[in-house]
Amino acid sequence: MMQPWLEFGTGLLMGGLALSACWGLFWLVIGVVGFRRGTCSRQVLLNAMAASGVPLVMVALLLWLSGMAQGPGLPFVGGLGVVPLVVVGFGLRRAPDGQLAGAHMLAGIRHLRDRLLGQHQACSGCSGGHGHGSGGCG
């Protein structure tokens, strides 16, 4: 009776850990490029390695502990998709200014990525104008 709930919980935990590991790998790639360019420090690399490595180790440990030799069941697969759906749901809600919260998150990601990769340093930040048509560095 408890087996389907345990499988669902394991899938839920694995879905969250996998999402976290992907996020860490995304920032690891950006950190490596920024470090090679000399625009970010070694600390960025260490943080990104920890943000991707710890969830990956936990996923491996969870797979080993759960012993999924016969393959995942339907409750496990159902649990995998819950955390990504929750993140999408939060991204689709409205922020106080009326825009989608996901749009604010993407703008923040772009800003941090540009800072880590050293974008817009030669143009003094483009003065808010981005792209060829707006007089920015595009």
pLDDT of residue 132: 46
pLDDT of residue 138: 43
Both tokens of residue 17? 């850990």
User: What DSSP string describes 5-26?
Assistant: HHHHHHHHHHHHHHHHHHHHHH
Domain ranges of the chain: 1-80, 91-128
Both tokens of residue 63? 């797979």
The answer to whether 105 touches 89, Cβ cutoff 8 Å, is: no
Q: Hey, how many other C-beta atoms are within 10 angstroms of the C-beta on 34?
A: 22
At residue 108's C-alpha, the angle toward residues 30 and 52, to 5°, is 40
How far, in Å, CA of 47 to CA of 35, rounded?
13
User: How high is the mean pLDDT in each 10-residue block of the chain (138 residues)?
Assistant: 82 93 93 89 92 94 78 85 92 92 91 83 54 46
pLDDT of residue 19: 93
Q: pTM of the entire structure?
A: 0.75
Both tokens of residue 110? 């772009």
